[in-house]
């Protein structure tokens, strides 16, 4: 049983991240960018370093994952401690990070205009995505509902403006390809 104490959260959280790294390593994902160095931020959407460095435009989506996981765990498991709900959120995020780096999902991403050359995440980027989700979860816990809604909308609109993509468009792209969205996203490739 998961304990409600922070004293037990940290080792369990670290174990989850070690499992994430180990599975991605077994999948053959590189530890860091194959360019051989680590950047704090990769902002060029067409760069081969996208999803390979510590953070990028998609880091904002993972913060929003944290907002959504906080809401989900609060609604479904209201009697669980914050630490239990955060461990569940981390497990869900890590599950996604592992699934996201399977050949099937990588190929599904490649069908979207902005991810034609996508090869999956580096291990360090994937772990940072999990930490970004954790940040979002903590922000949702500490901030008012309206502040979280404002931040989520600002991130979605801002990322859509700058790179013609965001969490919402990613989900839409997995469900169905709309030619108008594909054309709009392809515009960023020409800039």
> Would the pLDDT of 116 be above 80?
no
Q: Where are the domains of the chain?
A: 49-189
- Other CB atoms within a 10 A radius of the CB of residue 179 amount to 7
pLDDT tens-digit series, residues 3-34: 457 888 999 999 999 999 999 999 999 999 99
pLDDT of residue 3: 47
Whole-angstrom Cα distance, residue 133 to residue 113?
A: 25
- Confirm whether pTM is higher than 0.75: yes
Give the 3-state secondary structure of 122-174.
Answer: CHHHHHHHHHHHHHHHHHHHHCCHHHHHHHHHHHHHHHHHHHCCCHHHHHHHH
Query: With pLDDT > 90 as the criterion, what percentage of the chain qualifies?
Result: 75
Query: Which tokens hold the place of 90?
Result: 């981390």
Cα–Cα dist 109/96, whole Å: 14
| Torsion sign across C-alpha atoms 25, 129, 65, 145 | positive
Cα–Cα distances (Å) from 21 to 91, 119, 177, in that order, read: 13, 16, 32
Residue 65 burial (C-beta neighbours within 10 Å; 0-12, 13-18, 19+): buried
For residue 49, pLDDT over 50 is answered with yes
Confidence bin at 113 (pLDDT 50/70/90) = low
CA-derived radius of gyration, the chain = 17
Q: Is the per-residue pLDDT at 1 higher than 60?
A: no
Q: 99 pLDDT band (50/70/90 cuts)? A: very high
Taking 50 as the threshold, does the pLDDT of residue 131 lie above it?
A: yes
Q: Is the pLDDT of residue 103 over 80?
A: yes
As a whole number, mean pLDDT of residues 156-175 equals 93
Q: How far apart are CA 42 and CA 188, in angstroms?
A: 16
């Amino acid at each position: 049983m998961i304990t409600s104490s922070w004293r037990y959260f940290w080792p369990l959280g670290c174990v989850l991240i070690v499992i994430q790294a180990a599975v991605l390593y077994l999948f053959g994902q590189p530890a860091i960018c194959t360019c051989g160095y680590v950047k704090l931020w990769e902002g060029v959407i067409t760069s081969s370093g996208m999803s390979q460095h510590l953070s990028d435009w998609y880091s904002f989506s993972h913060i929003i994952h944290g907002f959504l996981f906080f809401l989900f765990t609060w609604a479904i498991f209201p009697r669980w401690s914050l630490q239990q709900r955060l461990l569940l959120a981390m497990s869900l995020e890590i599950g996604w990070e592992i699934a996201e780096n399977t050949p099937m999902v990588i190929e599904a991403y490649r069908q979207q205009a902005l991810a034609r050359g996508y090869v999956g995440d580096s291990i360090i980027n994937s772990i940072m995505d999990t930490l970004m989700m954790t940040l979002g979860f903590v922000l949702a816990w500490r901030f008012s509902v309206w502040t979280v809604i404002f931040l989520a909308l600002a991130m979605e609109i801002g990322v859509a403006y700058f790179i013609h993509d965001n969490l919402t468009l990613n989900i839409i792209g997995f469900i169905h390809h709309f030619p108008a969205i594909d054309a709009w996203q392809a515009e960023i490739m020409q800039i």
